[in-house]
């Protein structure tokens, strides 16, 4: 298994191109199942999760074509993928495929909406607490699907098609909102989604669905209204920038010091996290090309943070922020309200010398003068990258094992950090 070796202590200086968002690309690719025309997606990141989803879609009969490079494109230009779900040959998503990535469960919505049936394995994914699908199922039921749980599979049936309805989420769920949207666009009649997730990735999916002929209003607000249409057509859509990758590199610079321009991204995607970064003492400057992050000299101020659905502080940046706080001049409290078991990075950060105590749903981080490199183990996607950030700021050598988690969500991580002066390399094997 590959490892990443970092020799810490170097500040980051230069520019980092931000990739298309994994969490937008996945539902957009799944939306290709809604039409028998071709859906073209540009700015798709090169990630293991994208490859895994292509395999899952391929199993349903979706053809894909990854376009070759065009003049002027660099290795940092995202991929263009054309997806064609002209003929669906199989409405089952098997355990072997779905268990590798939780978001693949969402195929259930377009399959039942377009074909009247779907049989999808209960999902797997990052080990960050129980992540049920009860609300996703509830949404489908509200739109008229009959649901049966059969030997680890969720079977959804709507032989006469779905019908519009009211979906009220008792808790904000990104996946639930994606599923409700994809089911409602082909349902007969009007659907009202209440307490919808407001994440930018939801807005991006809604924008793409609208290009495909869907009638959606209110995406990005708590109430989304969908007027069902009989069929959708092909479209071309550019995946929005990855706000979690943006925030991750911003935190890396805030921790190591230096001056980095994060290109092809914009601050509206993560206002709250950027404000918090500013409070820690980093300069956050919006430019026409992206977001510039700078910290020179001054120390890191401790800031308390609570994760929340968008527009709050993202749970997907909690681990990275904790890494930053391990070197703060004082004590900070980080509360996790979205996932109950998302503190697995704590014990690994402690191996680097961090002082962190868990207190219910919060971590209390007492900043230390310095971290010291050590071998550590990646446990999930965001936790892994928090160890990279800590390693960049630690004295000496840090080796991160099990980096396949990183490959699921961070495109060209070593190259992007390396060109800004980080001493980071991948050891194959
Ligand atoms: C998505 C993101 C993930 C992010 C998370 C929260 C993708 C591919 N993944 O995951 O990176 O960390 O949003 O921003 O976009 N819940 C239920 N029942 C359900 C569904 C969810 O109780 O049926 C709970 C979850 O356990 C969790 C909360 O709702 O406590 C939010 O989860 P949700 O927003 O659905 O996360 P995902 O869509 O899986």
93 plus 119 within the same structural domain? yes
Radius of gyration of the chain from its Cα atoms, rounded to whole angstroms: 21
177 plus 302 within the same structural domain? no
Beta bridge partners of 121: 153
Alpha-carbon gap, residue 29 to 20, rounded angstroms: 13
Domain with 387 in it: what CATH number? 3.65.10.10
Residue 366 has pLDDT above 50, yes or no: yes
156 plus 104 within the same structural domain? yes
Alpha-carbon gap, residue 245 to 50, rounded angstroms: 16
Contact 232, 211 (CB under 8 A): no
- Ligand 1: residue of 338, 341, 384 to mutate (most ligand atoms within 8 A of CB) is 338
171 plus 77 within the same structural domain? yes
Q: Atom 38 of ligand 1 has which residue's CA nearest to it?
A: 175
Structural domains in the chain (count): 2
Alpha-carbon gap, residue 232 to 83, rounded angstroms: 14
Residue 130 — very low, low, confident or very high, per pLDDT cuts 50/70/90? low
Percentage of the chain beyond pLDDT 70 is 97
Ligand 1 interacting residues, C-beta cut-off 6 A: 23, 26, 102-103, 131-136, 171, 173-176, 201, 315-316, 338-339
Q: Atom 25 of ligand 1 has which residue's CA nearest to it?
A: 131
121 plus 15 within the same structural domain? no
CA dihedral over 276, 281, 282, 285, signed as positive or negative: positive
Structure tokens at 50: 């994208």
Return the H-helix or E-strand segment holding 49. Answer: helix 48-60
Percentage of the chain beyond pLDDT 90 is 85
SS3 245: helix
256 plus 214 within the same structural domain? no
192 plus 223 within the same structural domain? yes
126 catalytically annotated: yes
Indicate which residue of 39, 101, 111, 126 is catalytic. Answer: 126
What are the pLDDT digits (tens) for 305-355?
999 999 999 999 999 999 999 999 999 999 999 988 789 899 999 999 999
Q: Which atom of ligand 1 is nearest to the CA of 102?
A: 39
In terms of residue numbers, what domain contains 133?
22-238
Strand order of the β-sheet with 79-84 is 63-66, 79-84, 38-44, 235-238
What are the pLDDT digits (tens) for 20-40?
999 999 999 999 999 999 999
SS3 content of the chain, % helix, strand, coil (to 5): 35, 30, 40
72 plus 120 within the same structural domain? yes
What are the pLDDT digits (tens) for 134-175?
999 999 999 999 999 998 899 999 999 999 999 999 999 999
9 plus 48 within the same structural domain? no
- The residue among 213, 238, 263 that closes a domain is 238
More confident residue, 127 or 195: 195
Alpha-carbon gap, residue 381 to 403, rounded angstroms: 9
- The residue among 238, 261, 281 that closes a domain is 238
Residue 174 CA to ligand 1 centre (angstroms):
5
368 plus 308 within the same structural domain? yes
- The residue among 223, 238, 253 that closes a domain is 238
147 plus 158 within the same structural domain? yes
131 plus 273 within the same structural domain? no
Q: Which atom of ligand 1 is nearest to the CA of 22?
A: 8
SS3 263: strand
Alpha-carbon gap, residue 149 to 168, rounded angstroms: 22
Q: Atom 21 of ligand 1 has which residue's CA nearest to it?
A: 173
Contact 183, 202 (CB under 8 A): no
């Amino acid at each position: 298994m590959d490892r990443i070796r970092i020799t810490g202590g170097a500040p980051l200086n230069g520019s980092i191109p931000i990739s298309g968002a994994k969490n937008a690309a996945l539902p957009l690719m799944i939306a290709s199942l809604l039409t028998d025309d071709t859906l073209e997606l540009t700015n798709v990141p090169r990630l293991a999760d994208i490859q895994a989803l292509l395999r899952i879609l391929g199993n349903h009969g979706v053809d894909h074509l990854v376009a070759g490079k065009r003049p002027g494109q660099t290795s940092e230009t995202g991929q263009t993928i054309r997806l064609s779900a002209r003929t669906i040959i199989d409405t089952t998503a098997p355990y072997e495929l779905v268990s590798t990535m939780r978001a693949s469960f969402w195929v259930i919505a377009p399959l039942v909406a377009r074909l009247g049936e779907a049989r999808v394995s209960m999902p797997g994914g990052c080990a960050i607490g129980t992540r049920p699908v009860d609300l996703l199922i509830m949404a489908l039921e509200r739109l008229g699907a009959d649901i049966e749980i059969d030997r680890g599979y969720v079977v959804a049936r709507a032989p006469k098609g779905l019908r519009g309805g009211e979906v009220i989420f008792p808790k904000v769920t990104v996946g639930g909102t994606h599923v409700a949207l994809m089911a409602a666009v082909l349902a007969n009649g009007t659907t009202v989604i209440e307490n919808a997730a407001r994440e930018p990735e939801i807005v991006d999916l809604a924008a793409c669905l609208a290009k495909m002929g869907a009638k959606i209003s209110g995406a990005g607000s708590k109430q989304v209204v969908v007027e069902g249409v009989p069929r959708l057509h092909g479209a071309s859509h550019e995946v929005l920038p990855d706000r979690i990758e943006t925030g991750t590199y911003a935190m890396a610079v805030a921790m190591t010091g230096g001056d980095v321009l994060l290109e092809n991204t914009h601050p509206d995607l993560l206002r709250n996290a950027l404000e918090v970064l500013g409070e820690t003492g980093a300069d956050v400057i919006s430019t026409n090309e992206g977001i510039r992050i700078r910290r020179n000299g001054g120390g890191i101020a401790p800031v308390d943070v609570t994760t929340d659905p968008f527009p709050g502080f993202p749970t997907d940046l909690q681990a990275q922020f904790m890494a930053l706080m391990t070197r703060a001049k004082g004590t900070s409290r980080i509360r996790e309200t979205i996932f109950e078991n998302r503190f697995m990075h704590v014990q690994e950060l402690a191996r680097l010398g961090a002082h962190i105590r868990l207190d219910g749903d919060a971590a209390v981080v007492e900043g230390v003068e310095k971290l010291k490199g050590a071998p550590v183990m990646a446990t999930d996607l965001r936790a892994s990258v928090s160890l990279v950030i800590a390693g960049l700021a630690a004295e000496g050598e840090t080796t991160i094992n099990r980096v396949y988690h990183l490959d699921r969500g961070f495109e060209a991580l070593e190259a992007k950090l390396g060109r800004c002066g980080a001493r980071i390399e991948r050891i194959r094997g």
